[in-house]
Amino acid sequence: MSPYLALDFGGTRSRAALLDDDMRLIRRAEMRSRVSDGPDAVLHRLVKLAKSVTDAAVAPATIGIAAPGPLDTKAGLIIKAETLPGWSQVPIAAALSDAFAGVPAFVENDANLGALAEYHLGAGQGADPLIYLTISTGIGGGAIIGGEIFSGAGGHAIEPGHMRLTLPDGSIRRLEELASGTALGNSARHRLTRGAKPSILREMDRIDGQAVGEAALAGDALALDCVREAGTWLGMGLVNLMHLFNPAAIILGGSVMKLGDLFLGPARKFIAEHILYEGFVPDNVLRPAKLGDDVCLVGAALHARHSLAL
Amino acid sequence: MSPYLALDFGGTRSRAALLDDDMRLIRRAEMRSRVSDGPDAVLHRLVKLAKSVTDAAVAPATIGIAAPGPLDTKAGLIIKAETLPGWSQVPIAAALSDAFAGVPAFVENDANLGALAEYHLGAGQGADPLIYLTISTGIGGGAIIGGEIFSGAGGHAIEPGHMRLTLPDGSIRRLEELASGTALGNSARHRLTRGAKPSILREMDRIDGQAVGEAALAGDALALDCVREAGTWLGMGLVNLMHLFNPAAIILGGSVMKLGDLFLGPARKFIAEHILYEGFVPDNVLRPAKLGDDVCLVGAALHARHSLAL
């Protein structure tokens, strides 16, 4: 069988891989995206990256592309993205297909592809509906319903990071402003400025999600407060997802999940206190993601293979 | 063709109807449910109500039953319900089927059937995904995805009224505590007690959602404040539904919708301010329900006919 080419194009880094029929990575390459260079230069570099993992003598069967949304998946376009300033209606699928002599190329939202990969080969096998959340700088998400990517009427679902919640001061925030790595950094800076609680973070130059996470893992009380607060907000997001989708599994990935029960414990507590009834919390509904950093490459290859077969 | 029998069993009132093949009501009857009499007495009365709309000589083709959740739809049981204190594992489908010599009976969540009816014959024809909200004492909801009722892994989806939101004082509330008829009554009583704003409601014995709604329609400023506040919370709920389901249509029914733009205007304003991008707000996405009080009877008949054909 011909191998499958997959690309994961992100605002910061991009990856390419060649996968075999069992969706194992045969070859893999990575680069900085440098999106500020503009679409033409970036597409050129993406093609070079893709060529670096393929064998010139063996055309891939399909090209799967993971990209940040919003996308026009039918036309293969990146419409725009918060992480891609100035990009508009960029024909990423055609650019890759053309570079590989017309091999069919399919673009899909990166978090949707993460959901698909975890559903077929990761922590959520057979779990339907499945919700996938990736919690790092922001919070992305995807859903599988009836075995297929669920993308709603216009292809824009699901965006759980953009769920609106109200703070105690009355201001309105997105879930990803309250329960992401960015939230951990913001919360710590706020606590360091407003309070006098001792913390190893006071000696650090850069207070970001990673620094707060490491401090929490080292037992720093102020950092632990931040993680507990973010985990509680995550719990509210999860309760809302459970009441709306009644998922068989919610797969949790992304760098913030390295905090484990420090982060998930408060979320579980919130769920126990606020869920309507136990039918909304099937056994083992919250599961750590299994496929790691290459989840979107696997999802892109799976999706392209499936799309070609349709 | 044999006609279809439908029942809509509610905590306060129950309805029965006989419908023809075009889902038009041939005959209809209604009664108070008096659920505190217990399941046996109530099931007995439901059978009598059903008999009152059917012709003894012509067996119905199917029996469709709308009931409050949670249900075990496969076994035809009401598991329990907030509005049915003391009810547990009540075999409502078997009770009706037995009374009609084994005619197949199917029970489904009432709001899910409302969604199905509006999707096939009401305001949401062809709109997929479709979300249906019924906003009266509480907020119920249903979803249609891929032309079918979406009920999640355990049959419990969707419960938009149980979406958790935080008040400015830090307390956590359900959407239905903030944007329903009950919310209007609570909000008005709070404002009447805490403030001195003049209001026609001050002369009323009973300050409930209906009284507040009528006062708002008559131009009462305090009542209008309550409606505006509830409409804003509804907007937050709708934004979250849009970001999660990207629905082609959200159909809004229930008694509070009689307030029209007084209620929906603030919701629309919130959506315009908080939606991620315009792809989440397709043309005509918010639509008033069309099928009125009999929506669940129509949905129950449709669902039973469809279930028999499977």
Tokens describing residue B302: 């449709």
Q: Across all residues in chain A, what is the average pLDDT?
A: 95
Average pLDDT of span B22-40: 95
- Alpha carbon A67 to its chain's center: 10
Q: Enter the DSSP assignment of B150.
A: -
Of B245, B257, B228, the closest CA to residue B281 belongs to: B245
Instruction: Tell me the domain boundaries of chain B.
Output: 4-115+293-309, 125-289
**Residue B219 burial (CB count, 10 A):** 10
Whole-number pLDDT of residue B309? 87
Q: Give the DSSP H or E segment for B64.
A: strand B63-67
Q: At a CB cut-off of 8 Å and minimum separation 6, what does B60 contact?
A: B2, B3, B4, B5, B18, B54, B100, B103
ipTM confidence:
0.94
Q: Do domains A4-115+293-309 and A124-289 have the same CATH topology?
A: yes
Closest CA in chain A for residue B158 = A244
**Residue A126 burial (CB count, 10 A):** 10
Q: Which CATH number fits domain A4-115+293-309: 3.30.70.1710, 3.40.50.720, 3.60.21.10, 3.30.420.40?
A: 3.30.420.40
Asked whether the predicted pLDDT for residue B10 surpasses 80, the reply is yes
Bridge partners of residue B31, in order along the sequence: B14
Do A156 and B246 lie within an 8 Å CB cutoff? yes
CA distances from A291 to A13, A120, A235 (A): 18, 11, 23
Whole-number pLDDT of residue A17? 98
A192 touching chain B per CB within 8 A = no
Reported pTM: 0.95
Q: Which CATH number fits domain A124-289: 3.40.50.2000, 3.30.420.40, 1.10.1740.10, 3.40.50.920?
A: 3.30.420.40
- Alpha carbon B22 to its chain's center: 23
A165 touching chain B per CB within 8 A = yes
Bridge partners of residue B149, in order along the sequence: B144
The more confident residue out of B86 and B10 is: B10
- The tens digit of pLDDT for each residue in B161-172 reads 999 998 777 889
Q: What is the CATH number of domain B125-289?
A: 3.30.420.40
Q: Enter the DSSP assignment of A169.
A: T
Report the gap between the CA of B212 and the closest CA in chain A (Å): 24
Which residue in A80, A163, A166 is closest to B243 by CB distance? A163
Asked whether the predicted pLDDT for residue B55 surpasses 80, the reply is yes
C-alpha distance across the termini of chain B, in Å: 18
A246 touching chain B per CB within 8 A = yes
Pick among A158, A162, A251, A274 to test the B interface (most B CBs inside 10 A): A162
Which residue in A70, A168, A276 is closest to B170 by CB distance? A168
Which residue in A152, A155, A243 is closest to B162 by CB distance? A243
> Please, which residues 113-152 of chain B have a Cβ atom closer than 8 Å to chain A?
127-129, 145-146, 150-152
Which residue in B146, B157, B172 is closest to A246 by CB distance? B157
